[in-house]
Amino acid sequence: MNNWLSSVKVLFGQQPPRIDPADYSTEVQIIHQKKRAEKITAEMLQAAEQAHMAKGQHHKWRNRRWLVLIVANVLFVLSWQLDIQMLEGALTASRFIGFHMADLNSALQVMLAFKQVLINLLIGTVTVFVLWWLLGGRTFCSWVCPYHLLAEGAEKIHLYLVAKKWIVNHEFHRGTRTVLYGVFVLLALLTGYTVFEIINPVGILSRAMIYGGGLALLWVLFLLLFEIFYSRRAWCRYICPVGLTYGLVGTLSPLRVKYHVQDCHHEGQCRKVCLVPHVLECVKKGRAHQTEVALGADCTRCGLCIDVCPTGSLRFEIKGLNKLL
């Protein structure tokens, strides 16, 4: 229960807690002692990286994720254009072979704005709730959201510009997202309009792909430019309430990314590629309090950390089944 509460607090913007070393398990204390005594050389790290690259799996999860994301969004387009009625609507609200699906955040906004519970939306939210509870974390963000894919491209440009020292990255407090979540809820309740949906790039892009673009795409372009030249992945990290909603839903999911401290070289590559590096505090040398640590609710399950880990210390696992995906 304490781990669950801690995970939710971090999701809301709190800094990851530092656990007293006295509370570490005996097994992990022994591992940490051995790691302090051994010296990992640059040659050892290079050899591990070369062996990892030789396996050809350094983009395995990224490629799978991109495929799923593209296929999911293309299905909306084809269903509309070909009138096959398999997947109707958009990402904010849709129907798949008769099953209603509704984005949880969008459904909440609509019901608050109209001051009533709409049965179709309620049915759709239950379907989506179960789906994203099973997959866990912010899986929707990295595996389905079209803006996430565009933002990954913008992020690469941003990191290149930072490396060249042409720009400086600006960070905000992660709790900003929680405050804005409350603001959008209140605006829907008080105004009777789904204010967030006006600026939600997920809905804007989804509808633009299916029904055609409009001026709203200029807002998406502005967000991408802001992330390129000012703040890395600002929308996903500091603003979007959709990620916060799905993070809460997937907190107790059976599917999670788990960290195994035994073989970790602590080279830090996983944290460099992570959209939410605070969920990887446990990979820092001496920080893991158990031999195995499940990443928190803010994890997007993107798999980038798994792809770059040369020792296989990060893995997708199913709780209770001890199966590696």
pLDDT tens digit string along 126-169? 888 888 888 877 899 999 999 999 999 999 999 999 999 999 99
Q: Are residues 206 and 308 in the same domain?
A: no
Q: Is residue 95 part of a domain?
A: yes
Say yes or no: 161 and 178 in one domain. Answer: yes
Full domain range(s) for residue 293 = 255-325
Q: What is the mean pLDDT of the chain?
A: 88
89 and 211, same domain (yes or no): yes
Is 153 in the same domain as 223? yes
* Same domain (yes/no): 239, 259: no
- Together in a domain, 236 and 269: no
- Amino acid in position 315: R
Q: Which tens digit of pLDDT belongs to each residue from 218-244?
A: 999 999 999 999 999 999 999 999 989
| Domain final position from 227, 248, 269 | 248
Better pLDDT: 3 or 202: 202
Q: Domain holding 285: CATH number? A: 3.30.70.20
pTM of the predicted model, to two decimals? 0.89
Q: What is the pLDDT of residue 136?
A: 78
Residue 297 has pLDDT above 60, yes or no: yes
Pairing of the two strands 323-324 and 99-102: unpaired
> Do residues 175 and 218 both lie within one domain?
yes
Give the chain's domain count.
2
Domain final residue, candidates 216, 248, 280: 248
At 182, the pLDDT band (50, 70, 90 cuts) reads very high
Final residue in a domain of this structure, among 203, 220, 248? 248
Q: Where is 73: in which H helix or E strand?
A: helix 60-81
Q: Does any domain span residue 242?
A: yes
What was the pLDDT predicted at 313?
A: 92
Percent of the chain exceeding pLDDT 90 equals 50
The pLDDT of residue 325: 57
Pair 251, 129: CB distance under 8 Å? no
Residue 94 pLDDT = 79
Q: How far apart are CA 256 and CA 254, in angstroms?
A: 6
Q: Are residues 99 and 120 in the same domain?
A: yes
Are 300 and 195 in a shared domain? no
Q: Angle, nearest 10°, between helix axes 60-81 and 201-211?
A: 50
Question: Is residue 214 a contact partner of residue 208, using CB atoms and an 8 Å limit?
Answer: yes
Do 297 and 195 belong to one domain?
Answer: no
CA distance to 75, 103, 147, 212, 239, per residue, from 209 (Å): 11, 18, 12, 6, 23
2 pLDDT tier (thresholds 50, 70, 90) = low
Q: Look at the block and give the residue holding tokens 């979007």.
A: 240
Residues 259 and 171 in one domain: no
pLDDT at 133: 87
